[in-house]
Amino acid sequence: MTRVIPVPQQFDDRTFDQFARAYSAPSPEEKVLFDAHATQWASPYGLLGLLVAGQAWLDRHKVHPLLTLPEDRDVAHYWARAGFFRYAQEFFELHGKVPKVVASGTSDVLLEVTPVREADDVHAVVDRIQDRAQTIVSHELGLEAQATMGFAMALSEACQNIVEHAGTGGWVAVQTYTWRRTLGRRVAVIAVADAGVGFRRSLEATQAKRFGDRWSDATALEAALIQGVSRFRDPGRGQGLAGIRRYVSRWSGKLSVRSGTARIAIVPPWDDDVPLADGLPDFPGSQVLLIIPAAQPAK
Amino acid sequence: MTLPIDLKEILRQTVADGYGDLVTRRTGQAVRSGIERILSRLDGETVLIDFGSVRCLDLSCADEIVGRLLRERAQERSFVLLNVDDGHREAIEFVLERNNLAALAKTKSGELQILGTLSEPARRAFAALVRLGEATAEELAQETSLPPESAGELLEELCRLRLVLRAAGRYRAPVR
């Protein structure tokens, strides 16, 4: 029997837990099909989540999971433009025709799916994004020049979480789009994800004792994001997430970090997410999401 | 005597030719080690660190290059951060505030600013000293309408933090 894990029709941070629930459901089958045939849209967060799921499944079962591509050609083309298939073919047996696309300088994909394994990758990501980020953040989002500089800084720090803490490689993707549903404005979105050890295991050696029975994915996320702790004892450590938090707060953005069975978020007034969600379906590694909205139009 | 240190040059020597960004902890550690090697070879009471050719500075690099250098070396020398732009400033201030440190910066337009954690009276005293160029405690007291004793205490606080230098009873900023 092949177990089917449906990829949500609209696959983003809102529907991620639905996907994670299907992924983490106990099952004797080792053969699995990730079914994206009906998927109409996937955010960078969704695409990276799919890669993480594929990588983690392959690592655990040593069998390539199957992935059916979206039937909608436009959707499949977008996934190709976002660089998803380049890495998906490492982990999945792909079913469906992978579109051939040529990179376009005018795309809303600011940074296609890019692997992050070591410090050099972070340099490359920051180097590639800076010129386009300036155009997007200041012209398209209408934010001050300072927001552009902080954008690259936040991106760098988010990527370094993988290098320093995941114990494995991960990916980053950056995109802009118009978020009609709740905001009615354009947003720039940074998604960073890995299938690594997650926050709880990364911090366990230095923090678990302090929390005793309360130690969990949720308390590990609180310790990292709110208290700024790190697995390193150096006084300068643990400020990356705190810096990202300050950046998103300053520009009315959202920061969300999911790891294991918990998710913590800095929630702006335009969003209705909860600050801390615990008891979620278990999912490998860590997933970080930053959303920077366009400036509020003058009334 | 002042020692000018170009971060782009250190970056080129210690990490790689092509980088223009100070990002990642590893890069920060390499650049700080490069700065420390220069400091070990040269005498001089003021060190100028030039950010002029640095595009992006992230928090990890700001912590290694500014935070850690000040935490470990500020007793020995004055550090002045040159050509700091708004982007650099954001990362540097974040690190300084978290570590309860202060640093002297000179912007691209030539303005001297104290970044990080410092009391408001000490900031005002520093601004007045910069206006005067150099001064005794009494001259600063006249300029700021502070009691001479308070002016002296503020100048001593600035001296302890190496934000101001003292010679023969006169105080001045490490750079003009």
Domain boundaries, chain A: 1-101, 108-299
> Do B13 and B71 share a domain, yes or no?
yes
Distance in Å, alpha carbon of B127 to nearest chain A alpha carbon: 25
Chains A, B: CB contacts within 8 A come to: 85
- pLDDT score at A223: 92
Structural domain harbouring B54: 1-117
pLDDT tens-place string over residues B20-33: 789 999 999 999 99
The answer to whether residue A68 scores a pLDDT higher than 80 is yes
Task: Tell me if A64 sits within 8 A of A92, measured CB to CB.
Answer: yes
B19 in A contact zone (CB under 8 Å) = yes
By percentage, how much of chain B surpasses pLDDT 70? 97
Euclidean distance between CA atoms B153 and A54, whole angstroms: 64
pLDDT tens-place string over residues A235-251: 667 788 999 999 999 99
- pLDDT score at A132: 79
Residue finishing a domain among B69, B92, B117: B117
| Mean of pLDDT values over B73-81 | 88
> Do B140 and B87 share a domain, yes or no?
no
> Do B88 and B136 share a domain, yes or no?
no
In CATH terms, are A1-101 and A108-299 the same topology? no
> Do B45 and B132 share a domain, yes or no?
no
pLDDT tens-place string over residues A204-239: 988 899 999 999 999 999 999 998 887 777 766 778
A236 in B contact zone (CB under 8 Å) = yes
Say which CATH architecture domain A1-101 belongs to: 2-Layer Sandwich (3.30)
Q: Indicate yes or no: CB of B56 within 8 angstroms of CB of A130.
A: yes
> Do B91 and B136 share a domain, yes or no?
no
Query: What CATH number is given to the structural domain containing B36?
Result: 3.30.750
| Mean of pLDDT values over A84-89 | 96
Q: What is the pTM of this model?
A: 0.89
Q: Indicate yes or no: CB of A122 within 8 angstroms of CB of B25.
A: no
Nearest by CB to residue B99, choosing from A119, A146, A235, is A235
> Do B33 and B91 share a domain, yes or no?
yes
Q: What is the mean pLDDT of chain B?
A: 91
- Looking at per-residue pLDDT, the higher value among B19 and B159 belongs to B159
A122 in B contact zone (CB under 8 Å) = yes
Residue finishing a domain among B67, B84, B117: B117
> Do B150 and B93 share a domain, yes or no?
no
Query: What CATH number is given to the structural domain containing B122?
Result: 1.10.10.10
Closest CA to B125 of B136, B109, B116: B136
| Mean of pLDDT values over A91-104 | 86
Task: Tell me if B67 sits within 8 A of B34, measured CB to CB.
Answer: no
B25 in A contact zone (CB under 8 Å) = yes
Does domain A108-299 sit in CATH 3.90.1170.40? no
Task: Tell me if A200 sits within 8 A of A144, measured CB to CB.
Answer: no
Count how many domains chain B has: 2
B124-151: b (≥16 Cβ within 10 Å) or e: ebbebbbebebbbbebbbebbebeeeeb
